[in-house]
């Protein structure tokens, strides 16, 4: 072990200090980072809408719908990495932490260069056809999507590094990097979307260019830091470029269920959108859904996902340190934090719903009525989803990634889709029926997540990668 690795130690307060402080220490930077990242996306949409028009917004929306499915699957490797890193950090084994992150880095490089970039570039027109993008939208979306597929490694590197550092107990460095990424992305988007001086206006394509350039810049800086030292995760000079299949197998073993889970949830969301579009007032209901659910409700999901990430790190580290009871307490504490935040945000849904909708330019009376109605349901649903995600973090952080997959299939696909199909088949499907189906799905996810975690099978999950090769 190098002197550098000895000097940068893990934060032992996560496994030895007050459990509330440990959870909150990792949760608040992650939540803030998620919110900043979400706001960045809103800014991109706003700028493209102003300088390109609604076709540009549609192009970005369709492209991200496609790209996220791919990214969620590839990023599942980082879930597996996070589980291993948390365990080894909790056991105070920095050499295993560094080896794990290094192999995740090499694997993601190979996947991007050999699979995602070439196949994504060629398949982009087909994928756009699959989502029924109009010719006008496809013209804007195709270059955007191809740029994202070919040049998105920087963004993936950012996601990987953020997950590695948080799992090792450092959530503030990813926050600082995320702020830098967001600022740089916004500046580049302003320049590249609308043009400036000798730089022409690239429109929708400029939004993609800004995203990948910002990601590349941050990833280059991150690589210098990883090899130069100064972070709790480090790449030692002289590390072999050869794949370590023992580690890679563990990455896929723990990570793939999460990737499949993400795809299943996206598919469930697409099917629900189909039900909404089939309503008599389908256009108005879709507008209300997009603003109320995908935008406003995101403030609950962004904070809840931040809590989930923190919970996974604290749970994994304490299990690695041989403290399963602290792992259990951490999950319950995280659920309490989530409930407080979801209650605060949900209260604004109930108190000032029309003002919130007005921020997004919603002024059609029917759309506003439907949006207000949906926000009432979501104020309750937020309590369920934040509990579900806290306990999901506990399961994933300890290595149980299969149970959340099964729970998501039941709660995010079978329950809401089944309810909507049944009502539509035997009666008349109304918007309120779909809103209620969403709530029932989130309630089911919360109940099942709590039950599975309390069964305690995660206590016996073993993680090992063996010794470093000569």
Percent of the chain with pLDDT over 70: 94
The domain tally of the chain equals 2
DSSP string, 404-455: HHHHHIIIIIIHHHHHHHHHHHHS---HHHHHHHHHHHHHHHHHHHHHHHHH
Give dist(CA 432, CA 420) in Å, integer: 10
pTM of structure: 0.87
**Token duo for residue 195:** 């043009």
Which backbone phi and psi does 136 adopt, to 5 degrees? -65, -45
Residues 50 and 184 in one domain: yes
Same domain, 373 and 417: yes
- Using the predicted structure, report yes or no on whether residue 445 has a pLDDT greater than 90: yes
367: confidence class by pLDDT, cuts 50, 70, 90: confident
Residue 360 in this model has a pLDDT that exceeds 90: no
Average pLDDT, rounded, for the chain: 88
Same domain, 76 and 167: yes
**Which pLDDT score is estimated for 468?**
64
**Among 74-83, 276-285, 413-422, which is the least confidently predicted range?**
276-285
Neighbours of 125 (CB within 10 A): 15
The verdict on residue 250 lying in a domain is no
- 284 pLDDT more than 60: yes
**Judgement on whether residues 268 and 162 belong to the same structural domain of the protein:** no
- Assess whether pLDDT exceeds 50 at residue 174: yes
**Three-class SS state of 9:** coil
| Residue 44 located in a structural domain | yes
Picking from 208, 243, 278, the residue at the C-terminal end of a domain is 243
- Whether 235 and 268 map to the same domain: the answer is no
CB 264 within 8 A of CB 409: yes
Residues 210 and 350 in one domain: no
Same domain, 196 and 52: yes
Residues 227-250 have pLDDT tens digits of 888 899 998 877 878 888 999 999
Q: Please indicate, yes or no, if residue 169 is contained in any of the structural domains.
A: yes
For residues 236 and 266, state if they share a domain: no
Which segment of 114-123, 167-176, 258-267, 313-322 scores lowest on mean pLDDT?
A: 258-267
Of the listed ranges 44-48, 430-434, 463-467, the least confidently predicted one is 44-48
d(CA 312, CA 160): 15
Q: Are residues 234 and 342 in the same domain?
A: no
Task: Look up the domain containing 276 and give its range.
Answer: 255-460
Does residue 412 sit in the same domain as residue 270?
yes
Structure tokens at 322: 């041989």
The answer as to whether 7 is a domain residue is no
Residue 2 lies inside a defined structural domain of this protein: no
The pLDDT of residue 6: 46
Query: Does pLDDT of 3 surpass 60?
Result: no
- For 284, 291, 375, the CA distances from 279, given in Å and listed in that order, are 9, 17, 19
Structure tokens at 347: 């209260």
Instruction: Specify whether 287 is located in the same domain as 429.
Output: yes
320 and 41 in contact (C-beta within 8 Å)? no
DSSP string, 326-388: HHHHHHHHHHHHHHHHHHHHHHHHHHSHHHHHHHTT---HHHHHHHHHHHHHHHHHHHHHHHH
Higher pLDDT, 334 or 73: 334
Asked if residue 270 and residue 222 are part of one domain, the reply reads: no
Residue 1 located in a structural domain: no
**249, part of any domain:** no
Confidence at 88, pLDDT banded by 50, 70, 90: very high
Please, which residues bridge with residue 199 across strands? Answer: 196
Domain-located, residue 421:
yes
- pLDDT, residue 439, reads 96
Contact yes or no for 173/26 (Cβ under 8 A) = no
Last residue of a domain, one of 218, 243, 268: 243
Give the list of residues 6+ apart from residue 33 with CB closer than 8 angstroms, or none. Answer: 162, 174, 175, 178, 179, 306
Please say which residue of 201, 218, 243 terminates a domain. 243
| CA angle 453–459–464, rounded 5-degree value | 125
């Amino acid at each position: 072990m190098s002197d550098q690795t000895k000097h940068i130690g893990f934060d032992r307060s996560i496994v030895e200090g007050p459990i509330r402080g440990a959870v909150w220490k990792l949760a608040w930077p992650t939540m803030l980072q998620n919110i900043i990242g979400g706001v960045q996306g809103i800014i991109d949409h706003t700028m493209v809408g102003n300088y390109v028009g609604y076709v540009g917004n549609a192009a970005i929306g369709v492209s991200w719908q496609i790209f996220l499915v791919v990214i969620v699957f590839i990023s599942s490797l980082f879930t597996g990495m996070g589980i291993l890193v948390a365990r080894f950090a909790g056991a105070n084994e920095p050499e295993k932490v560094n080896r794990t992150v290094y192999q995740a880095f090499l694997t993601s490089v190979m996947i991007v260069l050999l699979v995602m970039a070439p196949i994504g570039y060629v398949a982009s027109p087909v994928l756009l056809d699959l989502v029924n993008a109009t010719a006008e939208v496809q013209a804007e979306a195709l270059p955007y999507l191809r740029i994202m597929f070919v040049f998105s490694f920087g963004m993936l590197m950012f996601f990987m590094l953020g997950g590695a550092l948080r799992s090792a107990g450092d959530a503030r460095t990813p926050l600082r990097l995320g702020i830098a990424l967001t600022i740089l992305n916004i500046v580049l988007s302003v320049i590249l979307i609308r043009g400036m001086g000798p730089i022409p206006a690239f429109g929708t394509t400029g939004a993609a260019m800004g995203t990948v350039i910002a990601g590349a810049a941050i990833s280059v800086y991150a690589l210098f830091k990883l090899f130069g030292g100064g972070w709790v995760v480090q790449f030692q000079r002289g590390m072999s470029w050869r794949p370590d299949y023992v580690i890679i197998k563990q990455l896929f073993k723990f990570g793939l269920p999460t990737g499949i889970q993400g795809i299943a949830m996206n598919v469930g969301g697409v099917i629900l959108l189909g039900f909404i579009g089939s309503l008599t007032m389908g256009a108005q209901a879709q507008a209300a859904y997009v603003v109320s659910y995908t935008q406003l409700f995101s403030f609950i999901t962004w904070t809840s996902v931040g809590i989930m990430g923190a919970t996974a790190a604290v749970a994994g580290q304490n299990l690695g340190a041989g403290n399963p009871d602290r792992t259990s307490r951490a999950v319950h504490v995280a659920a309490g934090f989530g409930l407080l935040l979801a209650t605060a945000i949900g209260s604004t849904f109930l108190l000032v719903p029309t003002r919130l909708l007005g921020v997004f330019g919603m002024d059609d009376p029917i759309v506003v009525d439907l949006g207000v109605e949906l926000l009432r349901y979501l104020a309750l649903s937020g309590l369920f989803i934040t509990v579900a995600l806290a306990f999901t973090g506990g399961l994933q952080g300890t290595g149980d990634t299969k149970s959340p997959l099964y729970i998501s299939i039941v709660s995010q696909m079978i329950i809401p889709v089944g309810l909507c199909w049944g009502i539509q088949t035997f009666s008349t499907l109304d918007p309120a029926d779909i809103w209620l189906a969403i709530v029932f799905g989130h309630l089911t996810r919360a109940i099942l997540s709590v039950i599975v975690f309390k069964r305690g099978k995660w206590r016996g999950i073993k993680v090992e990668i063996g010794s470093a090769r000569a």
